[in-house]
Amino acid sequence: MPRTVEEAQSLLGAVAALSTAPLATIAQRLRDAVDPYLGSSALVIFTEDCTGRPQKKAGDEAVISRVSIAELDHIRAALPEGGASPGGAWQGDAVLGGEERPVLALSSPSNALLVFADPQPRPDPAEHAAAEGMLRYLWALAAERIREKVADAPPSYLIESRAASAERVRVTAELVDHHSTTLETLLAALRSPALSDDAARKSATDVAAKALVGLRTLNDRTTELVEEPVATAFQRLREDLKPLMNFSGIDVQFVEPPVNGRALPGEVAHAARAIVRGLVLAMVDQTGVRRIRTQWDCDGESLLVNVRDDGPGELSAAAPNMARLGQRVEALNGRMSVDVMSGWGADVAVSIPLDRPAGPLADVSGWKLAERELEVLQLLAAGQRNRAIAAKLHISENTVKFHLRNIYRKVGASSRTEAIAMAHSSGLR
């Protein structure tokens, strides 16, 4: 594809930047890399592996600031076989960022979605096939980079992801409550026999019913992004370990979790799969391992993971790779124990709580907050709005605002966002 040394060097630089990009900049890096082959007003990556930030965007702010998950779902449905075909592509007009516009969408083997707004091919027609191949290559590289970064996410990312997931569920729940009440009231009024215009009533009823269904669907979709059935999460683990089963010669056995077990928060499911993968790889590095068994269970409060091998019992909990796995477990307030018996193998047990701990995790006495102010700050840090805080504490919204003004003054914050950030950095969640 590159015709000069300069173009080749530019391509290699773009590939290197993309292959090492952190999650926060990967959309912009991808846009920079594909720009010589395809121009666009904006680029959106949608991946369900990142529960905290499923969308990664770059380009025209007027487009990317308004993109919704519902819009991306509709575009995914237009891909071959509903988007399930790895590498599938679709080009046409679709609503993106609140407006109908030309889009180009590509899927990936990891089920991530890439969407270009207002795509503008750059090369000559004769180079179209080569440019398309380069576009697919760069997208595959970016999608794999995202998958790797999520699989190896540090503790800080897991904590942030959990907080973002909880916030998204809270906001969606508020929207559902508000709009559902409005639409249900509208339906009741329009169905009233006191109204004489039957045709208008029927038309308005159909519109309102459709809006209500759409709102409920959006709520279900958001829940799917932040929760994963335990059986589905375990099946994805089996798929992840398939290559090892096929080529290592080691018998990897799976003990299925209960099908009706409690759904796992997205970050717990992702972390658990990454932890098991790490444990299996650490066990495979020993000599003489012929069989590894992994088991998941869920007691309603925690995900219980057990991985054991039949090796020589040389697995060390102090080894760097095992220490890193332990840190990932601790990031989610979990526990990991390693039981090693020489000549009999290793048995690793992991317990990850499904809910975030409540209450302060650090001493904030330096702020000299009154008891009620501390309660308000805790609820604020948990993502609650003024109305919800008032209902929780059985006080008025004006009283909440009064306490917030005092809190801002005492902690030295100039805004709600800054107060939440300071509370999080001090251990309040």
pLDDT of residue 103: 95
Cβ neighbours of residue 308 closer than 8 Å, sequence gap 6 or more: 292, 293, 345, 346, 347, 348
Q: What is the DSSP letter of 318?
A: T
Q: Which residue has the tokens 């899927």?
A: 107
Q: How many helices (H) and strands (E) does the chain have?
A: 14, 14
Q: For residues 197 and 144, which has the higher predicted lDDT (pLDDT)?
A: 144
- Statement: residue 360 has pLDDT above 50: no
Beta-strand ranges (E) seen in 284-370 are 291-298, 302-309, 335-341, 345-353
Going by C-beta distance under 8 Å and a sequence separation of 6 or more, which residues neighbour residue 424? 163, 381
> pLDDT for 278-323, tens place per residue?
898 889 888 888 999 999 998 888 999 999 999 888 888 888 888 8
Contact 397, 387 (CB under 8 A): yes
- Just give the CATH number of 5-151: 3.30.450
Instruction: Please give the backbone phi and psi of residue 197, each rounded to the nearest 5 degrees, phi first.
Output: -85, 90
The residues facing 107 across adjacent strands are 113
Give residue 84's pLDDT band: very low, low, confident or very high (50, 70, 90).
very low
Distances (CA, A) of 154 to 328, 385, 405: 7, 29, 35
Does the pLDDT at position 350 exceed 90?
Answer: yes
**For residue 271, pLDDT beyond 80:** yes
Check: CB of residue 57 under 8 Å from CB of residue 72: no
Q: Locate tokens 């990936």: which residue?
A: 108
Q: Which residue carries 């990967």 as its tokens?
A: 26
pTM comes to 0.50
The CATH number that domain 365-425 falls under is 1.10.10.10
Beta pairing, strands 251-255 & 264-265 = unpaired
| CATH 3.30.565.10 describes domain 230-353 | yes
| pLDDT tens per residue across span 103-145 | 999 998 878 899 999 998 876 666 777 788 889 999 999 988 8
Q: Look at residue 254 in the predicted model and tell me its pLDDT.
A: 93
For the cut 60, the answer to whether the pLDDT of residue 80 exceeds it is yes
6 or 104, higher pLDDT: 104
Rounded to 5 degrees, φ, ψ at 313 are 80, 40
